[in-house]
Structure 1
């Protein structure tokens, strides 16, 4: 469908251009129609493709509109009064280049085509300096014999110099992205504009410009190429934001730019010493453009410095919070605060913590007390990059994450576990931040560094927790390791945090690391255990409760245990339930055997059968 629109636009523009040469009397109306078609193509391309930044394309469309209006004014003046020059047309033609300058400033911001425009501004400064020297030394000495006024001379130099600058920028873009169709079309259009403007200037220096000649093909190519560039889908890459690399400008390049900026001053001084300033307007224009380039360079440097200072401050605050974190909840809060501070105020975004644990395998020794948290049953996507984060489209993530992320277009997936591949294969935790793509690109480095620091904090907490549990287990082994009563500590997540050797002997199984009580107790006995744990956890007091359980051993035999359950609400460490089990199977069997023997030795005359039935 986009190709059909481009073919239709090219066909219409070519037909109108053919009419310009075949019907000179209607040239003004035809040029206006061609300009209107190009402006319409730009507007439709903006609406259809929705680029990340619309400003440069709107400015390019405005430039096409101004150029078309100048062509119409020029044609009207030529046909009505017979004048070759029109003041209105000259004003419109000259006003084209400020619009194109503003468009190029917007277009060369960090994007998928040019990540840093500092090199481009340096190149333009040198081109301006060379153009000024060439004009004053080669072209200006030949102008007095042409009969052109100062205003007409300024219009000529603005046409040539402005077209040259536009072509340089477009060629630089084309070199940076040789496979981008929109960039190539913009470069072709800029070349056509410069070619026709140069032909116009040469004709004016000679016998004068005559409309309808082949030199006007350049302007037709300019209209056609720029309109087609806006219609092509690749136009969105011109403003798609990417990471901005650090500015490592060499000292020699800075010196070259400084010399180029001083060229206008040197030329002005040389002409003043010679006796008269003949090219004051041209020198002023070049000096103004050089000032714009220098200001652009300074503004870019200031923005980079401001961003770096802001990023360093937020990372320092986040690092301080992570160093003092005593639990995973504080780590999550530090990350939430950092993301809220880094993103521009009012930016719609969502933050989600994702946790993937492969079935039957525990991947950490830390309880992730996070909110909002999503437990995954499948790994997150990965592209095996060396970075610790991925920037992906939200729709490509598991469906369970789409709703918590608010349906925002792009998401950063930053790993919170050691190893860049941990979230994808071995399981682990990840920080997900969803927002628009431009915002995430600008904040990706900071989020990635903060995620790395949070990973270290989580590792520290895991190692500290493991050390505390090891010391606790050693203490409990000293206290309860030699007793015949089983001691079991169950966390709120049903995980067995401690079990002494007597507990495993009672059940007749071997120790199982990182197991839950459901993995140890036979499924037929889950109901009675679950009922007791719910009752204990619902109590606010620590007095506990006493019950009896009948548990099935691994050999399918039954064991009767007396159980005391007590909540560990006020104890140091994570909350849970302390369970003490005493095997009373043999004791109950001896009691029943003693009772049975008593019944067997009951005095004659009593109904022994009824007594047995009563105590059965």
Structure 2
């Protein structure tokens, strides 16, 4: 009875530790740890029954323990996990299982002492240790993975030694299993074992397929051999090994079908998005095509929020970083905004193509917030989608730029010989077109390609002109322009705000020379506040008033 109480305490403590660690650390995948806790609970109950001399009942719980452990291993190694691709691991496990079966039937099982050891337990322990070793190799210096390996090795040693020499000393391996797996769930590194990773499927190789086929065929061949000899002594062992190898083969096939289906869905979604983006004629159409593609690439519940910003100003409005985000050591063009260990994260895919940066220097990004597991799986496809969207936006920008250039050329050809003084400036006040009459007024043959309106306006009037243009709507403002010889000419500037116009996207200014009037104040409208008058009017008015 005392041994039964010890197993109850060990089993309940280890199970509670695993559940508490999973609840405390919040790993990306919660199910593998719950399955491990269930396996420990089944093993603890089996040990209690075994201590009470109820071996038959204990065997059922030991079998349930191996089923739970197998389900946990499937979750630890499924697609997108730390192992990235478990195909080779499955092939090796199937081969190891069939090899152990042959060794047991033809070598160990023939000896008298070897018959006391449970072949099914040893095969299960070896497979568990192999998977734990693979996790340690993939995770590097991860303490939780090493603790899982220690527990699996401890159970393997006790399953071999205890039947040969029953006693408390040979049960230490089981105690190591309880303690090591409980501590592994409590350690902070346990989140790294279920951290989502993008799958990288390996190319198909014939020798691995042949190895898997031979492994699946080994148990039936061993059973056939014993049946021909007339004495099937290892029927249970053969059945367990056959079930394990068949399960591994089915899992391998299911993984291949899943990866193929995901690849086809991504290809179909990207092809549909590419057709929609080619037909898009404005940024809203690009936005609609991108959102439709995201719904095809990801499950409906995987994405909580989608932000498609054609330039960095929209990102600033959303309190998100621009296209110049941190670099990714893995070579990806996208990056994460939140803790990579969290269940939910934000992925930023920049809308930036370096060769076409001049066409659309505003940047922008596709920002998705949702389940990190799903975002990691579709990260490559989302980066491709962002690149196609950037290409569509660059194409639209270039088409509009060509249209504006043609419009400017048409305007230049029409008003070349007129006396009207006109300016077309961008939103940042950079001069895009200046009429010949204006250049003649300023005594300049050509303006610099990088000239701005501020370069033409007198420094005292720049603030007034800038405030007038940045305010929405049309209007008129009086200011002084500087000539090449540093003299001033006073003009009336009538401006139209055409920033919303698709072809203009800027301001159209019409200027009239008022410097030839006798008193410039007479040409000005009545203003209640003197501060609203141009600086040159205040200076000329003061000179006129105190000239005697």
Under TM normalisation by the shorter chain, which class is it?
0.7 to 0.9
Within 5 Å, give how 1:591-602 maps onto structure 2. Answer: none
Report if the CA contact (8 A) 1:160-1:194 is conserved.
yes
Aligned to 1:211: 167
Tell whether the 8 Å contact from 1:42 to 1:61 is kept in structure 2 after alignment: yes
- Counterpart of 1:98 in structure 2 is 67
Name the structure 1 match of 2:537.
Answer: none
User: Does the 8 Å CA contact 2:421/2:437 hold for their aligned counterparts?
Assistant: yes
1:474 is the counterpart of 2:409: yes
Contact in 2 for aligned 1:115/1:244 (Cα 8 Å): yes
Give, in angstroms, the shift of residue 166 of structure 1.
0.8
Please list, as runs of the form range in 1=range in 2, the aligned pairs for 1:91-170 lying within 5 A after superposition.
91-110=60-79, 113-142=82-111, 156-170=118-132
Residues 440 and 508 of structure 1: CA distance in aligned 2, closer, same or farther (over 3 Å): farther
Distance 1:336 1:37, change over 3 A: same
2:461 to 506, 516, 524: 524
Going from structure 1 to structure 2, the CA distance change for 1:427 and 1:443 (only over 3 Å counts) comes to same
Residues 1:508 and 1:353: Cα distance change in structure 2 (over 3 Å): farther
Equivalent of 2:338 in 391, 394, 413: 394
1:175 pairs with 137, 142, 148, which one? 137
SS at match of 1:352: strand
Pairwise CA RMSD of aligned residues? 3.7
Shift of 1:176: 2.2
Change (3 A) 1:468 1:528: closer
TM-score of the two chains, using structure 1 as the length reference: 0.74
1:76 equivalenced with 2:52 (yes/no): yes
2:5 aligns with: 29
Q: Give the secondary-structure state (helix, strand or coil) at the position aligned to 1:441.
A: helix
- Mapped to 1, the partners of 2:247 and 2:495 lie a distance apart of 79
Shift of 1:441: 0.9
Q: Is the 8 A contact 2:79 2:255 kept in 1?
A: no
- Aligned equivalents of 2:343, 2:123: Cα separation in 1: 45
Contact 1:185 1:229 in 2 (8 A): yes
Are residues 1:580 and 2:542 paired? no
SS of equivalent to 2:27: coil
The within-5 A match list for 1:468-507 is 468-490=403-425, 496-506=431-441
**Pick from 17, 20, 42: which aligns with 1:41?**
17
User: TM-score, normalising length from structure 2?
Assistant: 0.83
Residues 156-183 of structure 1 show CA distances to partners (whole Å, capped at 9, x for unaligned) of 2221111111111111212222311111
Structure 1 residue 86: Cα displacement = 1.9
The 10-residue stretch of structure 1 (474-483 or 246-255) with the greater mean CA deviation from structure 2: 474-483
Q: C-alpha displacement at 1:280, in angstroms?
A: 2.5
The aligned counterpart of 2:480 is 551
Deviations 1:410-442 (A, max 9, x none): 32222222239989xx87333222323222211
1:431-458 residue CA offsets vs partner (Å, 9 max, x unmatched): 2223232222112101111122222223
Residue 507 and residue 44 in structure 1: after superposition, are their counterparts in 2 closer, same or farther (change >3 A)? farther
Change (3 A) 1:500 1:160: same
Q: Aligned-pair distance for 1:119?
A: 1.0
Q: d(CA) in 1 for partners of 2:196 and 2:500?
A: 53
C-alpha contact 1:568 1:578 (8 A) present in aligned 2: yes
CA distance in 1 between partners of 2:502 and 2:34 (Å)? 65
The unaligned stretches of length 5 or more in structure 2 are: 522-543
Q: Distance in 2 between matches of 1:373 and 1:481?
A: 43
* Shift in alpha-carbon separation, 1:295–1:421, aligned structure 2, 3 A: farther
Q: 2:326 corresponds to which residue?
A: 382
Once the two structures are superposed, residues 118-167 of structure 1 have per-residue CA deviations (whole angstroms, 9 ceiling, x without a partner) of 11111110011111112221233346x99x8xxxx7x8222111111111
Per-residue CA deviation, residues 20-58 of structure 1 (Å, 9 max, x unaligned), is xxxxx6222112111211112111111111111111111
State whether residues 160 and 198 of structure 1, in contact with CA within 8 Å, keep that contact through their aligned partners in structure 2.
yes
The one of 505, 511, 527 equivalent to 2:447 is: 511
Residue aligned with 1:90, SS: helix
**Distance verdict in 2 for CA 1:519–1:264, change over 3 Å:** farther
**Secondary structure at the residue paired with 1:196?**
helix
Deviation at 1:556, TM superposition (A): 7.2
- Look up the match of 1:347: 302
- 1:197-236 matches, cutoff 5 A: 197-201=159-163, 203=164, 210-212=166-168, 214-236=169-191
Summarize the Cα distance change of 1:351–1:580 in structure 2 as closer, same or farther, 3 Å threshold: same
In structure 2, the partner of 1:438 is: 373
Q: For 1:262 and 1:117, how far apart are their aligned partners in 2?
A: 21
How far the C-alpha of 1:290 sits from its partner, in A, is: 1.3
CA distance in 2, matches of 1:132, 1:577: 83
Residue of structure 1 equivalent to 2:199? 244
Query: 1:331: Cα distance to partner?
Result: 2.4
Counterpart-to-counterpart distance in 1, 2:344 and 2:465: 49
Counterpart of 2:391?
A: 456
Aligned residue number for residue 542 of structure 1: none
Kept in 1: contact 2:198–2:376 (CA 8 A): yes
> Relative to structure 1, is the Cα distance of residues 216 and 377 closer, same or farther in structure 2, using a 3 angstrom cutoff?
closer
Ranges in structure 1 where 5+ consecutive residues have no aligned partner:
1-24, 78-84, 204-208, 358-367, 397-406, 538-544, 593-611
CA displacement, residues 176-215 of structure 1 (integer Å, 9 cap, x when unaligned): 22311111111111000000001134x2xxxxx5332x21
Match of residue 185 from structure 1: 147
Give deviations 1:95-119, integer Å, cap 9, x for gaps: 2111111111111124563111111
Is the CA contact 1:352–1:372 (under 8 Å) kept in the aligned structure 2?
Answer: no
